[in-house]
Amino acid sequence: MNLAAFLADAATEGGWQDRPAFHEGERTITHGALHPLAARAAGVLAGHGVGVGSRVLIALPDSIAWVVAFLATARLGATAVLANPHLTAERHRFLIDDSAAHLVIADDELAERFAGLPRLTGRRLLDLAAGQAPAPAPELADGHELYLQYTSGTTGRPKGVVHRHGDLPRYWSGAGAQVLGFGPQDVGFSVSKLYFAYGLGNSLAFPLCSGGSAVLEPGLPRPARIAELAARHRVSYLFAVPSAFANLLAETDPAAFAGVRAAVSAGERLTADLAARVADFLGAPLYDQLGSTEAGHAIATNGAAFHAPGTVGRPAPGFEAQIRDREGRVLPDGTEGELWVRGTTVTTGYLGLPEENARTLVDGWLATKDRALRNPDGSLVHLGRVDDLEMVGGITLAPAEIEQVLARHPAVRDVAVAGVSNERGATKLRAFVVPEPGTVHALDAAALERELIALARTELEPYKVPRQVAVVERLPRTASGKLQRFLVRQGRW
């Protein structure tokens, strides 16, 4: 299956040609216009030597040009290397070297980073495509390499995760269609960008496979901008991380989200309090889910078909899950352990890392490195990352439990807890808190610290109570919203 040809055929057979596919700024492109444009753009790439087995690094902001570049690369049987354009120059060079990319599609402000490689801007690609004949689409196997998506590097070296032509339709047919019910009537808006797993499924797979549409925002998704676009396009499905939802509550008017029929949260732990407040704010259900770059999109999700608040839902269709102990033994329901999953879109492996593949992919099962437990109804409770565990005073604990308690304080917008070394080198539990706007001034930060420590003492065992609380302007998060726990442990960022 050639994904680009498959999606073009689906638009024709589904009668979606005249329906909007993507909205970017003042421009809307239909399904019927998008696929011929991508076929002509593939002719442009072919003229630059791109073919089966080539790799094309796409470092564009979310845009119609991004979608066209991806589909054009897919049509030729080449591999799209998805890169956040806001990475450092060093990280971009790493991706080029690691992926052995043949061509770069990036805007002019990044030109120096890719000196020596052929490069097209997104605008140039679209302009050249206007006068180009469509490129033929070779028939490919479902398992042919489609794209490389790098892990976000929250704990170290990014790893190139390989995904295939058959994966994207399954992101939609599983979680998107069967659980969330995303269909041709829906307009989606994902705060997470296309170059992340969460955003790729939401903003590319869902609209192109269903006949629906998606809003693309090239710039940073500030709360006011999210609200503006949601109101303008009558967004029906809003996808974001918990911290983004918290910002919407603090800075926007719920009237802007009148068209939202459901929202989805992923990427970090969603507290029960925030989930309830977001659902009330939107007047629509908020569905929590768990995904990973290695799985491509959702591993487990709540949705219209099944919703169990306080869980990340059941395994998405096509997936099964096991909770195992450190020795690999399957644990019974209700027991905390490490989450292993098996599914149709799990990666074939990390690029060029056989030892990591051997540790992470065992007999068809993926070690997610997430801590979880399974309920008797099959739903999963996410308990944080295995590598998020802290060792304090010889005791191993999960900071997510402490963060959940502190997050209930009305003055707390965002919080992270980690073991931080003091001046003597001893590790002490420390909380870093981003306050709600206008709730904390310099003079009463000490009062907030006392209140939070008192709150922790009423809810938690003594060894889980932070020794200190620091008020900060922001927490170190990746562009996809994930907490960089290793930086929190350093106590500065």
- The rounded distance, in Å, linking the Cα atoms of 131 and 129 is 5
Q: Which residues, 6 or more positions from 446, have their beta carbon under 8 angstroms from its beta carbon?
A: none
From 134, 165, 196, the end of a domain falls on: 165
What's the pLDDT score for residue 390?
80
Q: Is there a single domain that holds both residue 98 and residue 236? A: no
Q: Is residue 347 part of a domain?
A: no
pLDDT score for 443: 60
Does residue 173 sit in the same domain as residue 318?
yes
Q: Are 322 and 360 a contacting pair, CB within 8 Å?
A: no
Amino acid letter, residue 433 = V
SS (H, E, C) the chain: CCHHHHHHHHHHHHCCCCCEEEEECCEEEEHHHHHHHHHHHHHHHHHCCCCCCCEEEEECCCCHHHHHHHHHHHHCCCEEEECCCCCCHHHHHHHHHHHCCCEEEECHHHHHHHCCCCEECHHHHHHHHCCCCCCCCCCCCCCCEEEEEECCCCCCCCCEEEEECCHHHHHHHHHHHHHHCCCCCCEEEECCCCCCHHHHHHHHHHHHHHCCEEEECCCCCCHHHHHHHHHHCCCCEEEECHHHHHHHHHHCCHHHHCCCCEEEECCCCCCHHHHHHHHHHHCCCEEEEEECCCCCCEEEECECCECCCCCCCEECCCEEEEEECCCCCECCCCCCEEEEEEECCCCCCECCCHHHHHHHEECCEEEEEEEEEECCCCCEEEEEEHHHCEEECCEEECHHHHHHHHCCCCCEEEEEEEEEECCCCCEEEEEEEEECCCCCCHHHHHHHHHHHHHHHHHHCCHHHCCCEEEECCCCCECCCCCECHHHHCCCCC
Q: Rounded CA gap, 153 and 434, in Å?
A: 23
The whole-angstrom separation of Cα 31 and Cα 17 is 5
Residue 378: give the domain boundaries.
166-325+365-386
340 assigned to some structural domain = no
Residue with tokens 């500065």: 492
Q: How many residues does the chain have?
A: 493
Question: Which CATH number fits the domain that encloses residue 413?
Answer: 3.30.300.30
Claim to verify: residue 293 and residue 372 sit in the same structural domain: yes
Last residue in a domain, options 124, 141, 165: 165
Nearest partner of 414 among 465, 461, 492, 482, judged by Cα: 482
Q: Let me know whether 155 and 97 are in one domain.
A: yes
Is the domain of 104 the same as that of 134? yes
pLDDT tens digits for the chain (493 residues)?
999 999 999 999 999 999 999 999 999 999 999 999 999 999 999 999 999 999 999 999 999 999 999 999 999 999 999 999 988 888 899 999 999 999 999 999 999 999 999 999 999 999 999 999 999 999 999 999 999 999 865 455 789 999 999 999 999 999 999 999 999 999 999 999 999 999 999 999 999 999 999 999 999 889 999 999 999 999 999 999 888 898 899 899 999 999 999 999 998 778 888 899 999 999 999 999 999 999 999 999 999 989 999 999 999 999 999 999 999 999 999 999 999 999 999 999 999 999 999 999 999 999 999 999 999 999 999 988 887 778 776 677 889 889 999 999 999 999 999 988 877 666 789 999 999 887 866 568 889 999 999 999 998 878 889 999 999 999 998 877 888 888 998 898 9
Same domain (yes/no): 258, 281: yes
Angle at 138 between CA 137 and CA 139, to 5 degrees: 115
Q: Has residue 303 been placed in a domain?
A: yes
Say whether both 182 and 242 belong to one domain.
yes
Residue 405 belongs to a domain? yes
Residues 200 and 301 in one domain: yes
Q: Do 198 and 314 belong to one domain?
A: yes
140 domain-assigned:
yes
Q: Is residue 351 part of a domain?
A: no
Are 53 and 188 part of one and the same domain? no
Beta carbons of 34 and 7 less than 8 angstroms apart: no
**353 part of a folded domain:** no
CATH number of the domain that residue 251 is part of: 3.40.50.12780
**Confidence at residue 480, expressed as pLDDT on a 0 to 100 scale:** 75
* Predicted pLDDT of residue 426: 67
Out of 354, 386, 418, pick the residue that ends a domain.
386
C-alpha 390/C-alpha 396 separation (Å) is: 6
So what's the pLDDT on residue 242?
Answer: 86
| 405 and 271 share one domain | no
CA distance 70 to 38: 8
79 and 175 within one domain: no
Q: How many domains does the chain have?
A: 3
> Is residue 355 in a domain?
no
Per-residue pLDDT at 82: 98
